[in-house]
Structure 1
Amino acid sequence: MKPLVALLLAVVLPCSTAFAWSRPGHMVSAAIAYEELSARERRIVDKIVALAEKHPDRGAFEVAIGRAKGEERSRRIFLELARWPDDTRGSIHDHPTWHYWSRPLVDSASPPPKLPDDVPQGSAAEAFALNLSVASDPRASAGERAVALSWIFHLVGDMHQPLHSVSWVSKRFPEGDRGGSLQFVLDPVDKEPVSLHWFWDDSVSRDGEPEFATRRAAELMRRLPRTQFKELQPFRETAEFSAWAQESHQLASTMAYGPDLRASDAASKAPELPKRYLDRSVQVAEQRLTLAGYRLTEVLRWALRAEPGSRER
């Protein structure tokens, strides 16, 4: 129980104000996993749905499910599992530090007078390991496993968003910009200022309707099939989560905070992003979110591998 106590205490520590993919983005990654598992291992879908029925925060799921039945009902449960950790923010279920794994990225052209003593790093990796342990334990209660599955769905998505792995440290941001939350750009859609982090959150999907998430997932799977991702492997161990974080950190360094970025520390002065940056950011975000969906499939297969009726690997 000691690791759990430590993680619960972590919520009182300073943390990033950022989300990860917006709720619609998380729904898309869950829709990818749903389609894959439905086609390959329906048993796992049925098991996850059965556990989700015992989720202690039933209200959120009832709203998400609506009047859907059958296949659509199961799909909507998957989508809500992925977005629930955002839906529950501010409640007794909330764990703010679980959403990110942030490491400093120092601006070599304009470093701070001294490196900060502490940049809030988050506890996403520890949270993933803890929740994977609970979700894969048939001795745990169905409610505990349902909550743990929600976090697994969500954290796999979180860790593929480049700005959830970094805090930009510079003369302007000597304590870090909290994953782009303190820098502002002009939203290319509505021309309003948004944080750099929120721009990335919204870059794949802004429509929270389940039908759109399903269509968007199918489109991404057609354009970005599994075979395009050489780094995609069967899930084996929790340490892989940190490797995904390192991938995101590298992309943040070379692209998200790359030479094409134009941003301001004042929302009122938020500049337009260059077309090159806009095009590349959408490309990277789509690749990362699609890969997150495929990796989520592998994690869920691993977590439920020892369930009755399963085949061991």
Structure 2
Amino acid sequence: MKFKLLASAILLCIGTQQAYAWGQTGHRITGKLAENYLSDEARIWVMEILPNESLAEASTYADEMRSSPDEFWQKVAGPYHYVSVPKGKKYVEVGSPPNGDAVSALNSFTSTLKDPKASLEAKQLALRFAIHIIGDLHQPLHAGNGTDRGGNDVKLEFFWEDSNLHRVWDSGLLDRRKLSFSEWSEWLGKKITPEDVSKWTTTDPTVYIEESIAIRDTIYPDGDKLSWQYLYDHLPTAKQRLKMAGVRIAAYLNEIAAEK
């Protein structure tokens, strides 16, 4: 019985990891980068909701809680990490399914953050999840085509280890460089120009989705053994998406702080 329980727990953890976007390192990069572009008003507002908690720390909360037995995490929040858009379609044509998705969840959490009557606990959940969702939508396979669980069903070898396409994009590409999230954030942050910030600043999630779909349809490999060439071809795209997500998380927070 103990063995069965342990095996079940291991399988649960593996399944949960496969659904993450960017992994903890990637999400923390987006949160850390976002802190560079917060307005003074937004910085104060965020601190009021999450005292003594950085955006990097907040960014991973929605993944860390997925193993919680609470009904919200087990039966409600799962679809909030992604959208499904068939090839050749746009999100505006497909829309949100009845059980919700990343866009419907972001809209709901935004309403909570703007609601003066919402409790501090509700706003803390909403802020942490909103930061996470924006990061998710910049990972190309979190705008999945609806046929392969966002690349989880595309089994392959990445640097001679069993993996899948989703996991490669969640963490494999970044982990090959053996950098901490703070090192990544410092290096990437220096490469973001004022022109980039101006060009990337938007709080419309459908923009993030359309960009991810365009990338998604180019990253499926021809073979099932990936190593250096795939890394060389696609790591620059992953780094670009992380930078864009950081700028846009800040834009989202700045906008809400200015409106509240």
Unaligned runs of 5+ in 2: 1-15, 89-96
Aligned to 1:178: 149
So what's the TM-score if we normalise by structure 1? Answer: 0.66
Contact 2:139 2:241 in 1 (8 A): yes
Aligned to 2:254: 301
1:226 deviation in Å? 4.4
For residues 196 and 145 of structure 1, the distance between their equivalents in structure 2, rounded to whole angstroms, comes to 34
SS at match of 2:59: helix
Aligned to 1:267: none
For residues 180 and 209 of structure 2, the distance between their equivalents in structure 1, rounded to whole angstroms, comes to 28
Paired letter, 1:272: L
Unaligned runs of 5+ in 1: 1-14, 54-73, 107-118, 169-175, 264-270, 308-313
1:83-125 deviation line (CA, Å, top 9, x unaligned): 000000032242101000012238xxxxxxxxxxxx9996111
1:193 deviation in Å? 1.1
Higher helix share: 2
Q: Name the stretch that deviates more: 226-235 or 213-222.
A: 226-235
1:102 equivalenced with 2:100 (yes/no): no
For residues 158 and 170 of structure 2, the distance between their equivalents in structure 1, rounded to whole angstroms, comes to 12
1:84 equivalenced with 2:45 (yes/no): no
SS at match of 2:226: coil
Distance 1:290 1:261, change over 3 A: farther
Aligned to 2:214: 250
Distance 1:261 1:137, change over 3 A: farther
Contact 1:163 1:252 in 2 (8 A): yes
1:195 equivalenced with 2:174 (yes/no): no
Aligned to 2:48: 50
1:147 equivalenced with 2:125 (yes/no): yes
1:203 deviation in Å? 4.6
SS at match of 1:36: coil
Aligned to 2:189: 221
For residues 232 and 216 of structure 2, the distance between their equivalents in structure 1, rounded to whole angstroms, comes to 15
For residues 274 and 122 of structure 1, the distance between their equivalents in structure 2, rounded to whole angstroms, comes to 38
1:26 equivalenced with 2:56 (yes/no): no
Aligned residues: 231
1:151 deviation in Å? 0.9
Paired letter, 2:223: R
SS at match of 2:87: strand
For residues 121 and 16 of structure 1, the distance between their equivalents in structure 2, rounded to whole angstroms, comes to 21
SS at match of 1:105: coil
> What is the Cα-based RMSD across aligned positions, in Å?
2.9
Aligned to 1:11: none
For residues 285 and 231 of structure 1, the distance between their equivalents in structure 2, rounded to whole angstroms, comes to 18
Distance 1:30 1:261, change over 3 A: farther
For residues 228 and 123 of structure 2, the distance between their equivalents in structure 1, rounded to whole angstroms, comes to 45
Aligned to 1:137: 115
For residues 249 and 145 of structure 2, the distance between their equivalents in structure 1, rounded to whole angstroms, comes to 25
Contact 2:201 2:247 in 1 (8 A): no
For residues 130 and 181 of structure 2, the distance between their equivalents in structure 1, rounded to whole angstroms, comes to 19
Paired letter, 2:183: R
Contact 1:100 1:121 in 2 (8 A): no
1:47-69 deviation line (CA, Å, top 9, x unaligned): 2122124xxxxxxxxxxxxxxxx
Aligned to 1:282: 235
Distance 1:179 1:142, change over 3 A: same
Please point out which of 132, 136, 145 is paired with 1:158: 136
So what's the TM-score if we normalise by structure 2? Answer: 0.79
Query: Which of the pair has the greater relative contact order for Cα pairs under 8 Å at 6+ separation?
Result: 2
SS at match of 2:258: coil
1:202 deviation in Å? 1.0
For residues 40 and 186 of structure 2, the distance between their equivalents in structure 1, rounded to whole angstroms, comes to 18
Aligned to 2:223: 262
1:298 deviation in Å? 0.3
1:16 deviation in Å? 11
1:280-303 deviation line (CA, Å, top 9, x unaligned): 210111101110000000000011
